[in-house]
Amino acid sequence: MPIEAYKPLGLVSVVVFWSAIILLLRGWKVNRGMSISRHVSASKLTYVLAAIVESILVPLFILFFVKWFAPTFHLPVLFSILVTFSMLGFLVAAWVPDTKGSKSFVHGFSAYLAGILLIPATAFVCASEYISPTARAVSYTTLFYEIVSLSLFFSTRKAQSYHLYLQSIYLILFDIAILITAYVR
């Protein structure tokens, strides 16, 4: 049974997260070949602020998914497990800066695994009978982008030189698909 009090947490999490990213990166010379994390970890202040923001938002986003989103759209428990592990992966990536050595490995492993877990989670959303046609179209578009962009990123150097754009679009599309599913019926 969905708990309506958790519904706004999705919108709040997405808006605060992207506002924080934009504010943290604003005014910097953007290197399209660097990930969001690399940009954030370039300064101790931005790294700490991003870790604090993620530490607050990830639990809220998980509550939104588990307590409202999944029950509302009759998604299986596996969906909740996938998004929980994905969000926790993003949290680990926020806590462990993308710098050098083992930190970079832990960060990259957590972040890429988190991103990959969004693919089956998005597929579950697409398969739900309870979402609107608009949400279905956006979710399928998101799923297509997730698969193609990851395939290109891991197979071509040219795609890697656009890491920031590929990653940003990947995350933005997932967030948009979730919000449209939640709010457009």
Pair of tokens at residue 29: 């010379």
Number of domains in the chain: 1
Q: Average of pLDDT values for 67-93? A: 97
Residue 28, pLDDT score: 64
**pTM for the structure as a whole:** 0.92
Query: Tens digits of per-residue pLDDT, 21-41?
Result: 888 767 666 777 777 777 777
Give the list of residues 6+ apart from residue 74 with CB closer than 8 angstroms, or none: 128, 129, 130
Q: Is 18 left (phi over 0), alpha (psi -120 to 50) or beta?
A: alpha
Q: Average of pLDDT values for 59-71? A: 97
Residue 171, pLDDT score: 94
Express as a percent the part of the chain with pLDDT over 90.
66
| Spatial separation of the C-alpha atoms in residues 33 and 56, rounded to whole Å | 28
- pLDDT band (50, 70, 90) for residue 173: very high
Residue 89, pLDDT score: 96
Residue 144, pLDDT score: 98
Residue 42: is its pLDDT beyond 80?
no
Can you give the residue range of the structural domain that contains 72? Answer: 4-183
Q: What is the mean pLDDT of the chain?
A: 91
Q: Note whether 146 and 181 are within 8 A (CB).
A: no
Query: Tens digits of per-residue pLDDT, 113-172?
Result: 999 999 999 999 999 999 999 999 999 999 999 999 999 988 998 888 888 888 889 999
Residue 157, pLDDT score: 87
Residue 21, pLDDT score: 82
